[in-house]
Structure 1
Amino acid sequence: MYEAFYQLREKPFSILPDPDLIYWGKMHSMAFTMLEFGVMNNAGFTVITGEIGSGKTTLVRHLLRKLNPSMSVGLISNSPQGRQELLQWILLSLDQPFEGDYPILYKRLQDYLYGQFANGRRTILIIDEAQNLEPQALEHLRMISNINADKFQILQLILVGQPQLRDLLLAPELHQFAQRISSDFHLRPLDPNEVANYISFRLQAVGAPHALFSAEACALIASASGGIPRMINVLCDTALVYGFANDQKVITDQIVRDVIADKQQYSIFPVKRPSRVP
């Protein structure tokens, strides 16, 4: 809609996970380092947590791009409950038959993992939105992780979820599970300076010929978004629509104030009231 007006190749602030537009600030760099560390060091469990929209799924997509083709990867993006449903989704994510009762499913997974290991392949299972798993499902993941070959961990598990996942894993009944976690990181929001850098990076990545947001506009977005990348994207995208509609080549703090006010009054999108910005 506004791309030609601002001389952009594409929309810079899509809310869809885009590994090509990752802003490698301190938080995201450290989170991805922990993901890579877990994979490279054959960690049994790796856990990455962060607020909704903080960029966890985008990091997972980037990891999938970088994994060695010799690795077999299963990705589950929902929250199966109960041990049989969990096993079915695991097998489905690994492109294996998933019909049958629990003993058949367990034997099928065991045979698959041993077969992959015998062929020199490692298996990684990634569960996104893992905060929705019930404690029984998490405990069953721990039991599944006992399928190993001598000292080799033939199944690695990566759990990605909202902060509630951390609270869940601290429950006394999951103490044994928590002891299996070799690598973990909590992805915190961007600080105000990083928000300005994030906005600049996304715009430069799609060919912006000059800065499109004033410093004051960036400060307001940082305050209203709480430093959450998805919230930043929604506010910036809407601000560019407003600027285009009003023939404004630069997004000023007034445009951002209008966006925030309209979001607070008319939108279901949860925008914070910004603190006072000079």
Structure 2
Amino acid sequence: MYEEHWKLTERPFENRTENQFYYPAETHQAALLKLHYAIENRRSAALLCGPGGMGKSLVINSLRRQLGEQFRPICHIVFPAMSSDQLIRYIVEQVDPGQSEGIRETSSDLARFERFLQGSLDAQRHPVIVVDEAHLLEQHDLLEPLRLMLNLAATEAVGEAAWTLVLVGQPTLLSHVERYHALDERLAVKCMLNRLLPEETTAYIQHRVRCAGANAEEIFDEPALERIHTLTQGIPRRINRLCDLALMVGYAEDRTILSAETIDSVHGDLAAPTIV
């Protein structure tokens, strides 16, 4: 809607995961490097955490694209709020899809998973299982079952385990895992995504706008960029939301550049209304 007004080829601040819109902030690049290390060296487990909106899913999607074919399959679990039996069955069905065997015991699921791991070892493949929203695992007593699953086929593996577990979640995940010492000791790396610095917020906005075919300096003045960082606290999802609405408002008001005052006004529209 506003693309033509700002001379954009597309909307730059959609919460998308396409590789071209990935901005290599230091915190994301460091996390990617550590996750590559853990998986490519066939370590048992890794942890990625950060506040909501920091780009954890973007990091995982980038990791998926960058890993070689020997690190397959990559199973991504996005709803781990289930029982241990259900989680084990879900994992098995994801990594080794096949016809349903009807009602079966957890022991048969584990045996099927172990056969799958043995087949992967024979094919020189190293599966990766990513559990998103992993801060929910503790309340469902799932951390210990996942740790025990790391023992399957481990004696035949080249590295520490026959597969790598990647736990992804909110910062509370760190304290949850630390309470399970046996699992904590299996973590090869712990990655925390930190909020963007002021200069990184500006670079992030410039990168996004450039990918959409325009120049950020011709859309946002310098005080506006500084104000965006202050109001969003350097969290990419908040930056996207504020900038997208600012572009819409600027278009509606036929502005040629967005100022700090415009950003403040737009941010006020985003804030929740006060209930009297």
Asked whether the two chains share a fold, i.e. TM above 0.5, the reply is yes
CA distance in 1, matches of 2:202, 2:265: 19
CA distance in 1, matches of 2:19, 2:146: 28
Name which of 108, 113, 124 aligns with 1:109: 113
Q: Is the 8 A contact 1:7 1:209 kept in 2?
A: no
Give TM-score, length-normalised by structure 2.
0.91
1:130-161 CA-to-partner distances (Å, cap 9, x unmatched) read 11112621111110000113353211111111
Aligned counterpart, 1:42: 42
Aligned counterpart, 1:156: 164
CA distance in 1, matches of 2:63, 2:183: 24
CA distance in 1, matches of 2:182, 2:272: 47
Q: Is the 8 A contact 1:19 1:59 kept in 2?
A: no
RMSD of the alignment, in Å? 1.7
1:81-111 CA-to-partner distances (Å, cap 9, x unmatched) read 3221111221232142465221111111111
Aligned counterpart, 2:187: 181
Aligned counterpart, 1:120: 124
- How many residue pairs align between the two structures? 265
Aligned counterpart, 1:11: 11
Name which of 129, 138, 143 aligns with 2:148: 143
CA distance in 1, matches of 2:105, 2:4: 56
CA distance in 1, matches of 2:60, 2:19: 9
CA distance in 2, matches of 1:206, 1:95: 40
1:119-138 CA-to-partner distances (Å, cap 9, x unmatched) read 22111111111111126211
Aligned counterpart, 1:229: 236
* Identical pairs, percent: 28
Alignment of 1:195 onto 2:201: yes
Instruction: Evaluate the alpha carbon distance shift between residue 226 and residue 180 of structure 1 in structure 2; reply closer, same or farther with a 3 A threshold.
Output: same
Higher relative contact order (CA 8 A, sep 6+): 2
CA distance in 2, matches of 1:129, 1:93: 17
Give how far 1:265 is off: 4.6
Aligned counterpart, 2:255: 248
Give TM-score, length-normalised by structure 1.
0.90
Amino acid at match of 1:201: H
Q: Is the 8 A contact 1:124 1:155 kept in 2?
A: yes
CA distance in 1, matches of 2:200, 2:166: 27
Q: Structure 2: which 5+ runs fail to align?
A: none
1:204-226 CA-to-partner distances (Å, cap 9, x unmatched) read 11111452111111111111111
Q: Structure 1: which 5+ runs fail to align?
A: 268-278
Aligned counterpart, 1:61: 61
Most deviating of 238-247 and 68-77: 68-77
